[in-house]
Amino acid sequence: MSTAPKQAPRAGTDAPARRRRASRALRTPGGLSVRLDVRALTVVVVLLAAALGAGVLLIGTGEFPISTGDVVRTLLGDGNPGQELVVIDMRLPRVLVALLVGASLGLGGALFQALSRNPLGSPDILGLSQGATAGALVVIVLVSGDARQVTLGALAGGLATGLAIYLLAWKRGVHGYRLVLVGIGMSAIMTAVNGYLLTKADMVDAARAVVWMTGSLSGRDWAQVWPLLALCAVLVPLVLGNGRALRMMEMGDDVSYALGVRVERVRLLLMLAAVLLTAAATAAAGPVSFVALTAPQLARRLTRSPGPNLLPSLCMGATLLVTADWTSQRVFGADQLPVGVVTGVLGGVYLLWLLVTERRAGRI
């Protein structure tokens, strides 16, 4: 109503507009238009470059160091046979697994956090990683299965946990806190199951289980790359295609219904995708901690954009994991320290920092 007196802004907020327009639109005469968030796009490009750069460094690192130039030359199909063996057959799969696992965890984490509308709604906290671990431990301890069976066990464990959380948390649409609380309960149960399985194991199995549980990339080969790559090739476009609907769902179920989003369908689809991504990543590399929790948060801080930030989170996850793996190899020597230890330390520090700053901002 135009005649009403404009109300005074609250104290301290009458600073002039300090925010640039979030996005720019590209339009064609034919009526097509695409919305581009320039900053988010820049973040994606920079992160991708960083991930690939760290990947090249990672390939060059190890017991037989190879110079960056030689690595790039070999990757482009121009290296000598010896370098080719080391680069293509031994180290490239590991880097690809790291990239794919990081990307899957980053995207899965962003999905969970958006669906639960809670920054703590990440697969680590919700018990999915623990569920996948339980699946893997069952195979290691009870049937002494081989690596492939362990992978399948972890996948099954993750999916079963995801299903259990879905069934327990869903009551006419899930509420963020409900999902997080059910997930924390699930996580506690699964941790107990894992502890029990470990006590049942003999020394050899227990050692193998502990290494698996830390999350490691060593010894990953092409057999791990292909299934992950196939899954990502299907799920990433599917998830990104539903990104706009997910963005609407941030505003609550009622608002998104009113805007014409098929809320339940989108939520079920994205939840399933997130569980699959997380379970597959965990099956390939073990429960690498904190990537799913921190990648979306860091991505959001870089893009400064509201919304689920799906693509930036994906790139951030890949960058984080490859960088963490390179750091651990560089600092502690080849295959001395599993990457999960590094992400755990980094992620833990980040979480504490988050808690402290949020507390200062009065939000916790």
Partner 1 sequence: MSAGGGLGGEATHGPNNRRSTVNRLSADNVTLAYDQRVIAEQLSVEIPDHSFTVIVGPNACGKSTLLRALSRMLKPAEGRVLLDGKAIQSMPPKKVARTLGLLPQSSIAPDGITVADLVGRGRYPHQGILRQWSAEDERVVRESMEQTGVAELADRYVDELSGGQRQRVWIAMALAQQTPLLLLDEPTTYLDIQHQIDVLDLCAELHEEQGRTLVAVLHDLNHAARYATHLIALRDGRVVAEGAPGDVVTAELVEEVFGLRCQVIDDPETGTPLVVPAARKARVKAAVTGAP
Per CB under 8 A, residues contacting partner 1 are 1-2, 4, 6-7, 9-10, 13, 17-19, 21-23, 25, 27, 31-35, 117, 241, 244, 247-248, 250-252, 254-255, 257-262, 304-307
Q: 41, 22 in Cβ contact below 8 A?
A: no
Q: Specify the residue, 256 or 282, whose C-beta has the smaller distance to partner 1.
A: 256
- Closer CB to partner 1, 26 or 76, in the complex: 26
Q: What is the dihedral of CA 312, 170, 290, 207, to 10 degrees?
A: -140
DSSP letters along 274-304, please? HHHHHHHHHHHH----SHHHHHHHHHHHHHT
Least separation in angstroms between CB 250 and partner 1: 4
Please, which residue, 250 or 335, has the CB nearer to partner 1? 250
Helix, strand or coil for residue 337?
coil
Choose between 156 and 261: whose C-beta lies nearer to partner 1.
261
Q: Residue 22 or 229: which CB sits closer to partner 1? A: 22
* Distance in Å, CB of 97 to partner 1, minimum: 31
CB of 31 to partner 1, least distance (A): 7
Q: Quick one: angle between helices 38-60 and 68-75, nearest 10?
A: 100
Nearest alpha carbon to residue 251 among 325, 294, 209, 308: 308
Find the farthest-apart pair of alpha carbons in the chain and give their distance in angstroms, rounded. 80
State the nearest-atom distance from the C-beta of 289 to partner 1, in Å.
25
- Shortest distance in whole angstroms from residue 320 CB to partner 1: 22
Complex with partner 1: residue 205 or 250, whichever CB lies closer? 250
Cα→Cα distances 172→169, 260, 275, Å? 9, 18, 20
Distance CA 278, CA 288 (A): 10
Helix (H, G, I), strand (E, B) or coil at 27: strand
Token digits of residue 11? 């104290």
Select 41 or 52, whichever has its Cβ closest to partner 1: 41
38-60 burial: b if 16+ Cβ within 10 Å, else e? ebbeebbeebbebbeebbbbbbb
**What is the distance, to the nearest Å, from the Cα of residue 235 to the centroid of all Cα atoms in its chain?**
13
Shortest Cβ distance from residue 163 to partner 1 (Å)?
23
Closest approach of Cβ 262 to partner 1, in Å? 6
